Amino acid sequence: MSRINSPAELEAFRSNLLSERDPNKTCITLCSGSACHASRSREVAASIQEEIRKQGLDGEVELRRTGCHGFCERGPIIVIRPEEICYFQIKPEDVPEIISETIKEKKIIERLLYTDPATKEKIIHESEIPFYKNQGRLVFGSNVQIDPKSIDDYLALGGYSGLAKALSQMTPEQVLEEVTKSNLRGRGGGGFPTGRKWAESRNAPGDTKYVIVNADEGDPGAYMDRSLLEGNPHSVLEGLIIGAYAIGSHEGYIYVRQEYPLAVENVNIAIRQAEEYGFLGKNILSSGFDFTIIVHKGAGAFVCGESSALMTALEGKAGEPRPKYIHTAVKGVWDRPSVLNNVETWANVPLIINKGAEWFTQHGTEKSKGTKIFSLVGKIANTGLVEVPMGVTLRDIIFQIGGGIPGGKRFKAVQTGGPSGGCLPEELLDLEVGFDELTKAGSMMGSGGMIIMDEDTCMVDVARYFLNFLTDESCGKCVPCREGIRQMLKTLTNITQGKGKEGDIELLQQLAEVAGEASLCALGRSAPNPFLSTLKYFRDEYEAHIKEKRCPALSCKELISYYIDPDKCKACTICGRKCPSEAIVGGKSQIHVVDQEKCTKCGTCFEVCPTKYGAVTKISGEPVPPPIPEEARTIVKKSKEK
Amino acid sequence: MSEILLNIDGNEVKAKEGMTVLEAARSAGISIPTLCHHEKLEPYGACRLCIVELDMRGWKKLVVSCLYPVAKDLMVTTRSEKIDRIRKTILELLLAHAPDAFDLQDLAKEYGADRDRFEKEASFCIHCGLCVRYCAEVKKKYAVGFVNRGANREISFIPEVASKECWNCKECFPLCPTEALQAAYVLIEALTSPLPSFKRKGGE
Amino acid sequence: MDKERIDQIIDKHHGEASSLIQILLEIQAENHWLPKEALERVGERLQVPMTRIQHIATFYKAFSLVPKGRHQIHVCMGTACHVRGASRVLDTVQGVTGIKPGETDLDLKFSLETVNCLGCCALGPVVEIDGKTHGKMAPAQAAGVLKNYD
């Protein structure tokens, strides 16, 4: 490949590329994101290749291994184009049939289609499936069409035309103005206006400035950034180069967690390709603008998602945050002006430059423009990544796209914003999703984690869970965070273990004030949110734990007991065989009894007891009935008696 | 350097550009409590005791005075119900670790902090980092540093460096707000048993 | 790990102190832990004090200062796994292996770590052993899976 030297050459290259690609050629796209690797996507790919060869289709059918399609619940997914036939949960064993039936004979294989749970109707096309139909995928949409290791795939979809436009038709000031006018706000957590941050850095004194991609996605239960960086790395690079041009930076960093090996691999490949094509390096597209990118792997510290801590880490030190009375946009890495934005924010930039701020602001609400990618996980039917315009209600995301709560359970809360966010109850389901709306409700947008909780989730335990996470992830430098949240965790742990006392809630509130007001960085200042939001909306659960030593969700181990209802036990012996601690007494035709002394409360008996019997129950806040006497345990089947 | 006028607790205070609010206050004889501050060292902002309130045209904002730069017409309040409440809790959190430290006890009296509010976990060290920073910034010896993170953060001497450098120095001992207990303790531990700091990730 | 290999890694990063974390990550990836001699060599070559290396090596989760077991167990404690019962799975894994998170057993068979999210939330609760993901784990199943390793 020779270097592309001008916007005209880029367009010529692109049209040549498109003319060589037959839009009617059969193309099987297979999602190969990290999550699908766990569901044997690699084996599926190998067997597709093998079958294509075996069935004599070499050259006629193309296999494209794309990034994440988002519908992780049903992965691995293949889409057969141009017909757009969509098959789910493909196993390697399904492949020969797919090739011989669908590819060769154009016959649909019913069992691999999506079945609408409501109507029981089989759906063939991706775009008609409710999960996809109700989304608006501006940023994430290309993922399903691109092999992330191929820059040509990105170019075929119009890639790098935003960069060409910025460099050839716009001054840096105009780029900055367009981004400012778009009202793009940071997708990483705070929702700070991107244009303002860029302007601050552009206007800051100094010749050396940096632009940084924050791909240290650390919120547990959130993987939007990974999927973007893995699945469409060039969109992030393009945004970064445009941003660098606007700010006047010639060196960029991508800070990506080493726990994301595929993202690291794909982004490194993308950088090499962009260098080869001339989108990185000296005199990009003959504009006179130079820019290089360095990949820095994060070594595993949640606090490094905080911008100043990330910058400290980039300098090769332990990632302790710095006070930001002077913004990092003015004084960041090596004390130089540094603009740090999250992966998704950068990926929005090429769209804004290409289509204009006016187009962008048509999406979303008054104060939150564009779309947002959420990772919808937890007790939800359709786990996956969803991209929706800002302003869509939580209800639509959870029930229309997410398919609601599985197992006939009742929705209890949705946790947004990661460990810095909060839990929102059923009453707020009609809340429109936006930066300010979520903050006002006591949570926050965060980077886009959306964890759904049902009636079995204990809200006190959720608060304890996040405080436990933060106690471990705090850098430990300042007292309110290190000591304050540690004491909060101790108190919350006591409450979930039935050791809560009068006054604990007030103590937690005071500690929350100190951590929230006096901590050095955003990690500490937002650490009380999981507690404050659960207290605000689920105070009754706190009181039940403290006053009645009862866990209403029947979840806190120390507050529940497992009990086998003697009237329902049919002595099927399954629980006894599965119990890992030999805590179930009983045998054939013997009503089973839980030995409370031996029981470790792992819940296995509860899970394995056949639904038709439902004999194993959980008890909380009241004593366990005494075991029935041994002589009464024999089950006599009436038919045999006669 | 140009002179800046600001207002601290109703008093007009003259300061030089580049000074922090804490420096300006102290130069005017207004006392603000600190535990991790030292004139010879870079500002650190870890103990948060020096927190003060700024009035930005009616909008109140809490900042730590040891780091916040002075600015023209800044309105600073160094004591208020809220500030005192935060300082009291910070002291109580620290007293759980160093219940007998005189510095803490004096401050506790001033702010009504209850020594026994939190369960005692006497580790003596309150992580002010004075020893670590003094050794690095002033002495440039790097004999003592931090290890681990979060609630597990500790100070730890590098035995090889400490055995060479510390015996004739010990300048960090008097800096310790918990009466040098911890510094001495960790040093002895470091010299007698190798690598005490490498405990966290250990198999046992 | 021999000195030459460590030097090669340092040279690859041009011996720059700002690459300290990247160098330690590479040593960790190859050697599975950071021996004291390796840290000393890195400090010497990069002219970085041991205090800083020690802080980094204990601050970031990727590093280990002790040898690891033959099999690395990662129990995902991400929020999605948590609400689906990950802590009960962890209890079982601890029971079967006899070690707590962050520990390695005396036979160097297993090392157990908890991780904050493996990003396979659709499969939660997730246990990863030597890089292989085991999804939709219940306590009893996790115990069963562990039996396959020796």
Rounded to the nearest angstrom, the minimum Cα separation between C128 and chain A is 10
Task: Identify the pLDDT of residue C11.
Answer: 96
Model confidence pLDDT, tens digit, residues A608-620: 999 999 999 999 9
Kindly list the strands in the beta sheet with A384-389, ordered across the sheet, starting from the edge strand earlier in the chain: A384-389, A371-378, A449-454, A411-416, A422-425
Cβ contacts (< 8 Å) between A493 and chain B: which residues?
Answer: none
Residues on B contacting A at a C-beta cutoff of 8 Å? 45-49, 51, 62-64, 67-69, 82, 85-86, 89-90, 93-94, 96-97, 118-119, 126-127, 129, 146, 148-153
Distance, in Å, from the CA atom of B99 to the CA atom of A401, rounded to the nearest integer, reads 55
Query: Which subunits count as partners of chain B given 3+ CB pairs below 8 Å?
Result: A, C
Question: Within the 2-41 window of chain C, which residues sit less than 8 Å (CB to CB) from chain A?
Answer: 16-22, 24-25
**A65-78 mean pLDDT:** 91
Which residue do the tokens 């880029």 mark? A10
Cβ contacts (< 8 Å) between B148 and chain C: which residues?
Answer: 58-59
Cβ distance of B136 and C106 shorter than 8 Å: no
Closest-CA residue to B203 (of A137, A623, C140, C33): C33
Task: Identify the pLDDT of residue B166.
Answer: 86
Which residue do the tokens 């700091």 mark? B197
C114 touches chain B (CB under 8 A): no
Model confidence pLDDT, tens digit, residues A497-527: 999 999 999 999 999 999 999 999 999 999 9
Cβ contacts (< 8 Å) between B46 and chain A: which residues?
Answer: 477-479, 520
**Cβ partners under 8 Å of residue A75, min gap 6:** A31, A33, A35, A36, A39, A41, A69, A88, A89, C122
Structure tokens at B98: 């160093």
Give the pLDDT band of residue C118 (cuts 50, 70, 90). Answer: confident
Give the pLDDT band of residue B204 (cuts 50, 70, 90). Answer: very low
Structure tokens at B60: 């109140």
Residue A270, CB-side half-sphere exposure with 13 Å CA sphere: 30
Cβ distance of B149 and C36 shorter than 8 Å: no
A52 touches chain B (CB under 8 A): no
Nearest chain B alpha carbon to A491: B118
Cβ contacts (< 8 Å) between C55 and chain A: which residues?
Answer: 317-318
Model confidence pLDDT, tens digit, residues B119-141: 998 888 999 999 999 999 999 99
Task: Identify the pLDDT of residue A73.
Answer: 87
Task: Give the pTM.
Answer: 0.94
Q: What is the mean pLDDT of chain B?
A: 89
Give the pLDDT band of residue B195 (cuts 50, 70, 90). Answer: low
Distance, in Å, from the CA atom of C63 to the CA atom of C53, rounded to the nearest integer, reads 11
Task: Identify the pLDDT of residue A641.
Answer: 42
Q: What is the mean pLDDT of chain A?
A: 94
Residue B143, CB-side half-sphere exposure with 13 Å CA sphere: 27
Model confidence pLDDT, tens digit, residues A7-56: 999 999 999 999 999 989 999 999 988 888 888 899 999 999 999 999 99
Cβ distance of C140 and A75 shorter than 8 Å: no
ipTM: 0.93
B147 touches chain C (CB under 8 A): yes
Lowest mean pLDDT among A188-192, A564-568, B64-68: A188-192
Model confidence pLDDT, tens digit, residues A390-402: 999 999 999 999 9
- In this complex, the residue of A38, A378, A466 whose CB is nearest that of residue C120 is A38
DSSP SS3 for A295: strand
